[in-house]
Amino acid sequence: MSIGNRIAQLRDEKRWTQEQTAAKLGISRAALSHYEKNRREPDSETLAKFADLYQVTIDYLVGRTMNPQSALSDDVRDFVDHLELSDDEILQKYNLSIDGRKLTAEETKRFIAFVRAERMMN
């Protein structure tokens, strides 16, 4: 299902008119119509507004998941937002491991060095 079809379906489920929905989003009714008919795709800011308005994830709107509520947990979001492998506090908090064994500080340093070297080659 396309983005336009999803946002049209969500609007229909709320029983809102295009005019009501456009006003809630701060866009024109014509722009909403273009999105719903797949003539244009919303930019990231407008996509976020749709997700907030309909209380669904952006992944759901763009068709990456069939679950409208599938989202990262607060712990996972915090981890992703603050991940820095050289940060001992993060390593201790999340107990990073490979093959069921916790990474040592030395292994972590080598891992980071490997990733940096690989990035320099690309």
The mean predicted confidence, pLDDT, of the chain is 83
Q: Which residue has the higher pLDDT, 63 or 81?
A: 63
What domain range includes position 104? 74-121
Count the neighbouring beta carbons within 10 Å of the beta carbon of residue 21: 21
Whether residue 90 is found in the same domain as residue 57:
no
How sure is the predictor about 108, in pLDDT bands with cuts at 50, 70 and 90?
confident
Give the chain's largest Cα–Cα span: 60
Measure the CA angle with vertex 72, ends 58 and 98; round to 5°: 130
| Cβ pair 35, 22 in contact under 8 A | no
Q: What is the pLDDT of residues 36-79, one digit of tens each?
A: 999 999 998 999 999 999 988 888 898 877 767 665 566 766 76
2, 38 Cβ separation under 8 angstroms? yes
Q: Give the predicted TM-score (pTM) of the model.
A: 0.57
**Closest by Cα among 52, 87, 85, 94 to 71:** 52
Q: Give domain status of residue 69, yes or no.
A: no
pLDDT average, residue stretch 2-13: 94
56 lies in the same domain as 78: no
Q: Could you give the number of structural domains in the chain?
A: 2
Alpha carbon distance 77, 116 (integer Å): 24
Do 55 and 93 sit in the same domain of this protein? no
Query: So what's the pLDDT on residue 84?
Result: 65
In a domain, 11, yes or no: yes
* CATH, residue 8: 1.10.260.40
Same domain, 100 and 78: yes
H runs (alpha helix) in 1-122? 3-14, 18-25, 29-36, 44-54, 58-61, 74-82, 88-94, 105-121
Q: Classify residue 42: in a domain, yes or no.
A: yes
